[in-house]
Chains A and B, each alone.
Chain A
Amino acid sequence: METLLVFVPCALYNEEPGTLYGVVQETKEEYVKCYFVIGKAEGLNENYGVEKCNIIGYYCKGSSSIVSFKQKSDWVVLGLCGSEFILHVIVSAGNVVDMSKPCQTVCIIYDHEKFIQSELFLQSLEPDGSLYGDHFKMLASNLNSVSLKNSRVRPFSSVILKNVLSQQIIRLLLCIANILLNCITFTHPVLKYTALELHLQTFLKSLIWILQSASCKKILSVKVWNYIVATIVDVCCGMLLLYWLTAVTSSPPQLLLESGEVVVTTLRELLHLKLNYAFNNMLGQFFLYHINVWWTFLVVAKPVLEVAFHIFLCLGRLGLTFQASILVDLLELVSFHIYCIYVYAARLYSLQVSGLVALWRLFLGRKHNPLRGRVDSCQYSSHQLFVGTLAFTILLFLLPTTLMYYIVFTTLRLVVVGLEGLLTRVRYILQCLPLYVSTLWLLQSTIVSSTVHLTVQCRETQGPLLLSVQPVPGSWWNTVQYCIPELVHSPPRVNWGNLIGNLVSGKLIYPS
C-alpha cells in the first residue's frame, strides 16, 4: 500500500481560497508519494522556473467546494476547520484515495520561512547528492530551487553587499589577493618545505573564497562568517602573545643558545655510562665532533636568528597561526643537526639489527628464501658457519652501545617532531575555531538547524495523521563539522603501530 505524504505550508492559514502549486515526487522503492505544496498560485499556468512544479491542488477555506479535477492524476484538496487543516480529497495516479485507512495519509505542516533560513540543512546530503529517503531534505531543496519573491533573508549584510561601491572595493581586493596568490604559487616549488609558505597559500585562498562569496552570491553564509570570526580571534591572540613576548624576553636567540648549551652538556655526560669501551669511544668521538659543529653553527647563525625574530614580529601580527608556522620553520632550522645525528644513529642501528636477524637465522641453520618469500633450512659450509657465528657474536655484543646512542637521539628527534606536530594541529584548530557557530547553536537559531522535530497535531482514529514540523539544530559536533572550511586541510592522523614498528627496526621517522 502506498503511503502518501502531504506537506502543507502554515502560511496557508491566512490565505484566501485558491489553487495550490507544488511538486509531486514519488519514490518507487519505498512506496511513498510526497506532495510538496509550496504556496498559493496567482494564476493557473505560471512558470515557476523549476521542472515538475505545477498546480497540484485547491485550497478551500471553509466548506468543501467542488472543483473539477477529473483530468488530473495527482490532486489535493485542503480545507480549514477552526484552526486546523483538513484534507478533504486526495487523488493519486487518477484514483481517489480512501482516507479512512489509518496512517496511510500523513499531512505535515511546515513553516516555510524557517526551512529557507536554515543553511546547513542541505549540506547533510549523501555523498552522491541523492536525496533518497529524506523527505525533509527533498522539501528544502524544492523550496530553495523555486525562487520566491517575498523571501526575507538577513537584510543587513545583503543591503551592504548590494551597494555598488562595496562591490567595487571587493573586486579590487579580489584582484590583489589573486596577484599575491600567483606570486606565492610561482615560488611554490622552492619554498614548499617551509610551513610558512603553505600557510600563506591557504590563507590567501581562503581570503579569495570569502571575497568571491561576497561578490557573487551577495550573502555571507554561516561558514564564511565562522571563518572570519576565527581569523579575528586568531589575530587578537597573536597580538596579545607578541605583546607578552616583547615584555618578557629581550632577545630570544640568546634564550635559544642557552637551552642548546644545556642539551650539549647532557649529551657529553651520557658518554660515561657502562658500555663497550673501544666502540663507545669511537662513536662518542664521532658524535661529539658533530655536536661541536652544531654549536659553531648556532653561534655563527645568531644574526640570522635575530632577523628571523624580526620577521616573526612583523608577520606575527597577522595572527597566531602565522606565528605557529614561523615557529615550526625556526624549529626545523635549529634542529637540523639533531636530524643529521639521528639519521647516522638510525642507519647504524638498522644495519646492526638487520645483520643480527640474518645471522641469527644462520645460527639456527636456516636462510631467507627470496624466491618463495619464506625462511628455509640451508646447508652451509663450515667456513661460512665459522665467519657467520663470529660476526653474529660481534654484532650481538656491540648492540647495547648502539642501542644507547639510538635511543638518545631518537628521543630528541621525537621531541622535535612532536612539537612540530602539536604546532600544526594548533594551527588547524585555530583556523577552524567554531566560535560563531557555537554561539548560534547555543542560541538555537534556525540558521544552524540541521535536523527536524515532529509533533503530532491531532490524533484521529480515522482520517489522515496531522503532524507539524520544526527545523531544529542538531548536535553541536554535527553543526561544527558542517562549518569546517573546505580549504583547510586537517593534518593526517598518526599511525601509532607504524611508528612503533619503524622505531624498533630503525627506519627513519618523518614529521607528518
Chain B
Amino acid sequence: MTQKQQTWKKNLYENVDYPDNYTDKTFLEELKKNVHITEISPRSAVLGAGLVTQEISIVIFFVIIYVYLYNGWIEPETVIVQSSLVATIGYLLYRIVLTKKNYYEALVKDLRTVLIFVVFGYILSPVLKTLTDTISTDTIYATASFMMIIHLIFFDYGVPAAIVSSSLSLNAAIFGSVCLASRLASPFHAFVLLTNAVECFVLLPILLSKGRGSVIVLTAMIAIAVYVLWTVSLIMMVLCVCITLFVTVLCPVWFLRWQNCKENIYGPWDEAIVHDTEM
C-alpha cells in the first residue's frame, strides 16, 4: 500500500502514487450553474408571445371577411376595392419607407407576381367554386379549421426552430381558403376571397416582419380582431379575448416565473467547443 504523501494536483505529470481513476474531492468545485443565463424582460417576453397573437388575429380577419361575404353583409366589389387600396398602401410603405433601396427593379418583379396571382385566381375561380358541391358544409368547415391550425403551427415566427416550414403553412392556408371559397355564392366572390387570402397570408407577414418589436402594432391588431368578432358573434369575441389573454399575458408570466427553476450545470466535463480565431 502506497502512502499518498503528495497532494493531488490537476495535471498529468504528477500524481504518480494515485490510481488512474482517482477522483479528488475538489472535483465539484469547478461546477458552475446557469452560466449563460439571459435576463428576459417582461416586455420582450410579451412581444415574443405577441408574434403568435398577431398571426391568430390575421387568421381571424380572414375568416371574418369570409363570414361577411357568405352572409351577404358586404359586397365583393367593396371588399376588393378596399383590400387593393390597403395592399397598395402597405406595398408602398414597405418598399419606400422600410427598405430604403432602389425600388425600380423590384417593382417589375412585384408586378409580375401580382399579375400571376390575379390571372390564375380569376381563371380558376369558376372551377374552384364548383369543386366541393357534393361535400357537406360541416366537412368543409372542419377541413378549413384544421388547415388554419396547421398554418399556425408551422408558421415562420422569426425564431429559428426545426419545425418551421413556411411552404407548408402557406399551402395549408391557401387550401383552407379554397375550401371556404367554394361555398360562396358566385365565382367573383370566390375570386375576391382568394385575393384576400393571398394578401393576408403572403403579403401581410412580409410587412409585419418589419414591425416585430412594436407594441403599437400588436395592440392595434388585437383591438381590430376583437372588434370585428364582436360584430359577428359575442361568444366568439369572448373566446378570442380569452385566447389572447392566455397567449399574450399568461404564457409569458409563467415563462418568466419558471426561469427561476432553471438549473443548467456546466463543468470541465463538457465537450470542448472550438472557436475560430481571427488570424
Binding site for B on A (CB under 8 A): 274-278, 362-365, 378-380, 382-383, 385-390, 392-394, 397-398
The contact of A392 among B127, B165, B175, B198, by CB within 8 Å, is B175
The contact of A383 among B113, B131, B133, by CB within 8 Å, is B113
The answer to whether B234 has its CB under 8 Å from any CB of chain A is no
A276 touches B130 (CB 8 A): yes
The contact of A386 among B127, B128, B134, B202, by CB within 8 Å, is B202
* Chief secondary structure at chain A's binding surface: helix
B175 touches A394 (CB 8 A): no
**Selected interface stretch from B24-32, B53-61, B116-124, B254-262:** B116-124
B167 touches A386 (CB 8 A): no
Across the interface, which residues of A come within 8 angstroms of B131, CB to CB? 276, 393-394, 397-398
A365 touches B167 (CB 8 A): yes
Complex alpha-carbon distance, A363 and B147, angstroms: 12
Complex alpha-carbon distance, A162 and B170, angstroms: 91
With A364-B165, A382-B202 as given contacts, are A390 and B128 in contact (CB-CB < 8 Å)? yes
Complex alpha-carbon distance, A389 and B116, angstroms: 14
B120 touches A380 (CB 8 A): no
Give me the 5 closest cross-chain CB pairs, A-B, nearest first.
Answer: A365-B167, A389-B174, A397-B131, A383-B116, A389-B171
Complex alpha-carbon distance, A364 and B166, angstroms: 9
Across the interface, which residues of A come within 8 angstroms of B175, CB to CB? 363, 389, 392-393
Q: Could you give 12 example pairs across A and B, Cβ below 8 Å?
A: A277-B133, A277-B134, A365-B166, A380-B167, A382-B170, A386-B117, A386-B174, A392-B171, A392-B175, A393-B131, A393-B178, A397-B131
B174 touches A277 (CB 8 A): no
With A383-B116, A390-B120, A393-B178 as given contacts, are A365 and B168 in contact (CB-CB < 8 Å)? yes
The contact of A276 among B133, B166, B178, B198, by CB within 8 Å, is B133
In the complex, how many angstroms separate the beta carbon of A63 from the nearest chain B beta carbon?
93
The answer to whether B132 has its CB under 8 Å from any CB of chain A is yes
Across the interface, which residues of A come within 8 angstroms of B132, CB to CB? 397
Complex alpha-carbon distance, A362 and B165, angstroms: 12
In the complex, how many angstroms separate the beta carbon of A485 from the nearest chain B beta carbon?
59
Across the interface, which residues of B come within 8 angstroms of A365, CB to CB? 165-168, 171
Across the interface, which residues of A come within 8 angstroms of B174, CB to CB? 385-386, 389-390
Complex alpha-carbon distance, A394 and B129, angstroms: 10
Number of interface residues of B (CB under 8 A): 27
In the complex, how many angstroms separate the beta carbon of B127 from the nearest chain A beta carbon?
6
Complex alpha-carbon distance, A83 and B241, angstroms: 116
A-B residue pair count with CB separations less than 8 angstroms: 75
B134 touches A394 (CB 8 A): no
B128 touches A275 (CB 8 A): no
Across the interface, which residues of A come within 8 angstroms of B124, CB to CB? 390, 394
A274 touches B134 (CB 8 A): yes
A278 touches B130 (CB 8 A): yes
Across the interface, which residues of A come within 8 angstroms of B170, CB to CB? 382, 385-386, 389
In the complex, how many angstroms separate the beta carbon of B110 from the nearest chain A beta carbon?
11
B134 touches A275 (CB 8 A): yes
The contact of B198 among A274, A275, A364, A386, by CB within 8 Å, is A386
Complex alpha-carbon distance, A390 and B191, angstroms: 12
Complex alpha-carbon distance, A398 and B133, angstroms: 11
B116 touches A387 (CB 8 A): yes
B167 touches A364 (CB 8 A): yes
Complex alpha-carbon distance, A362 and B134, angstroms: 26
B134 touches A385 (CB 8 A): no
Across the interface, which residues of A come within 8 angstroms of B167, CB to CB? 362-365, 378-380, 385
Contact code string B160-172 (vs A, CB < 8 Å = 1, else 0): 0000011110111
Residue of B whose beta carbon sits closest to that of A275: B134
Complex alpha-carbon distance, A21 and B41, angstroms: 114
Q: A278-B130, A383-B116, A386-B120 are in contact. List 17 more A-B contacts (CB 8 A).
A: A276-B131, A277-B133, A363-B171, A364-B171, A380-B167, A382-B170, A382-B202, A385-B174, A386-B116, A389-B175, A390-B128, A392-B171, A392-B175, A393-B131, A393-B175, A393-B179, A394-B124
A382 touches B113 (CB 8 A): yes
Across the interface, which residues of A come within 8 angstroms of B198, CB to CB? 386
Contact code string B224-244 (vs A, CB < 8 Å = 1, else 0): 000000000000000000000
Complex alpha-carbon distance, A135 and B90, angstroms: 98
Across the interface, which residues of B come within 8 angstroms of A278, CB to CB? 130
Across the interface, which residues of A come within 8 angstroms of B172, CB to CB? 363
In the complex, how many angstroms separate the beta carbon of A384 from the nearest chain B beta carbon?
9
Complex alpha-carbon distance, A39 and B128, angstroms: 96
Across the interface, which residues of B come within 8 angstroms of A398, CB to CB? 131
Complex alpha-carbon distance, A392 and B116, angstroms: 17
Across the interface, which residues of A come within 8 angstroms of B166, CB to CB? 365
Across the interface, which residues of A come within 8 angstroms of B171, CB to CB? 362-365, 385, 388-389, 392
Across the interface, which residues of B come within 8 angstroms of A274, CB to CB? 134
In the complex, how many angstroms separate the beta carbon of B116 from the nearest chain A beta carbon?
5
In the complex, how many angstroms separate the beta carbon of A198 from the nearest chain B beta carbon?
49
Across the interface, which residues of B come within 8 angstroms of A363, CB to CB? 167-168, 171-172, 175
A383 touches B178 (CB 8 A): no
